[in-house]
Chains A and B, each alone.
Chain A
Amino acid sequence: MKRVPFDPSRARGGLFDPAKDAAQAAKVAAPGDPAAPSAAVPPPITVSEASNIIRRAVESAGRQRIVGEVSNFTHREHWYFTVKDDKSQLECVMWASANGRSTVTPSNGMQVILTGDPTHWGPRGRTQLVVTRIERVGEGSLQQRYEELCRTLREQGYFDDARKRPLPDYPRAIAVITSGTGAALQDVLRTARLRAPFVRILVVDVPVQGDAAAPAVARAIDAVDRRADELGIDAIIVTRGGGSLEDLWAFNERIVADAVFRATTPIVAAIGHESDTTIIELVADKRASTPTAAVMALLPDSEGMTQQTDHLQDRLQFLIRRRIHELRRTVEAHARHTMFRSPSAVIDVYRAALLRSVARLALAARARVNDTRHRLADARTRFERHRPAARHAAARERLLGLDARLHGAARRSIYDLRGQLAGADRQLRLLGPGETLARGWSLTFAADGTLIRSAADARPGQEIESRLADGTVRSRVISPGVSAEPTLFEPPAG
């Protein structure tokens, strides 16, 4: 809001007497005039004095509860941030003594409700809000967020009975994820000691409320599950005592639900009182209304176990006794048998049978020997016949015989062949020209070498060659002529 500048001429009364003012103004306007008397206008105040006035005015507004959006948040030990709406902003500070107790840590953009005392700080000339409490203003109330997350997780099957694991019958060791300083832990330890003191307990200390709780609980569940084999843990209890919805809120966070969903170790969750049902209890393998109930559900009753062991021991002893008794009766029954009363009678029967068998054996043996002897002689004879030396001699004779025949046959053949050859030779001579020529015949050739068979082929004056047995005669034809008369060798007719 813009202020209208102060117009002294329009002010009336009190200090604002125009006459006095005029005089005063005249005096002031004359610099360096020490003789001018001072009027009743108060001297100017210092800046610090002004600051104090302003501070008192600001502080008199008293404690405020302010809703707005956080920005420029920084923190070392103390928290410094600005809270604003669309037109204004206020600087805030939350001292370490206060912010350490805060369940809410602001972040830029967060909608918050601040409770604080306004003040004005002279050294910097800043009006600030000293915050004593911060509350979150979420997208909806916590109840709404709870219902929405329940819906989501139910749809995704986080609450399904089918995925829930059975609790071990006789866990050897369990992990208890809880606050180390809480009453819930004491309840768990006491109940466990009474019920089954031989079950080892691993206490995992985590924050169970505040912003750090949800991630810490989730991480503890993951770590126990991951190291379950190494640490020998068979089941987990997650528990804390009663509180407001804000106090228990960590156990409604998605990050915790996911850790329980992922885990392979069975988990029992007991958060708050009977009437509180947090999301972890819906996802866990078993929900218990109190920490004590969680222990009762998980740990076996040592009384019952003792009775069970006693019962099994009795049964075992009964059975072995019965077995021995049965066997003893069987043995006694056998002992009453005739075999033990007159043992020699039993033996006599066998002895007689044995003697008979011996006799038959001797007979059979002799017959066998004779039979074998005959067969041996027989075999020897046959063997002699086939003795190698005899067979060798026979073979040699045969060989010699064959050899002689071979030679004889060969000689005869050659003789025959010679004869044949001579015969063939004579025939050849007879047929050949040599004998014929020797008998006086001659062959007549023309000058060109052709044979003249017929006298008609010869011409008078033709040169001819006659081959005789021992040489050739060259001559000239005088008068050839075919003879009508028979040849030399035809017998004359008549």
Chain B
Amino acid sequence: MSKQPRKSVSKPPADPALDAEVAAMSYEEAIEELEAIIDRMEKGETVLEDSLREYARGDALVRRCRQVLDSAEQRIEAISGQQLDADAKPAQVDAPF
């Protein structure tokens, strides 16, 4: 078979509902679902429409994972043991103290 130039897969259309749903997921949840989608695609059981939909979802999950990793700002909160026991809310701190 002659080698054909690899066509790049075009980006799936923007879907704000999907992005919003995925944005709430933790890295762990996103990775798990991503691996599940890839498993299904490897088994090749889906019809084309489903494959494309799965791909769009997988793409959104990848973006979510990157988003988590790219947040290089370390968020630190502090509270005393006593205040914590008294159900007070921790306070944000800017730099390590």
Contacts and interface: CB of A to CB of B under 8 A. Distances in A.
A169 B62 contact: no
A227 B84 CA distance: 9
A151 to B, nearest CB: 29
Interface in A19-49: none
Contact of B81 (A197, A217, A321, A327): A217
Contacts of B77: 200-203
A197 B72 CA distance: 5
A220 B34 contact: no
A320 B51 contact: yes
A153 interface: no
Interface in B63-92: 65-66, 68-69, 71-82, 84-85, 87, 90
Nearest to A321: B9
A359 B58 CA distance: 58
A309 B65 CA distance: 7
Contacts of A222: 85
Question: How many of chain B's residues touch chain A, expressed as a range?
Answer: 35 or more
Interface string B24-61: 00111001001101100110100010011001001100
Interface string B1-33: 000001101000000000000000011100100
Interface residues of A, number: 48
Interface of A: 168-170, 172, 177, 180-181, 185-186, 189-190, 192-193, 197-198, 200-206, 216-217, 219-220, 222-224, 227, 231, 302, 305-306, 308-309, 312-313, 315-317, 319-321, 323-324, 326-327
Given A170-B28, A312-B35, A313-B62, A185 B96 contact: yes
Contacts of A217: 81
B51 A323 contact: yes
A418 B64 CA distance: 123
Contacts of A198: 68-69, 71-72, 74
Question: Which of A200, A216, A222, A319 has the most chain B CB within a 10 Å cutoff?
Answer: A319
B80 A204 contact: yes
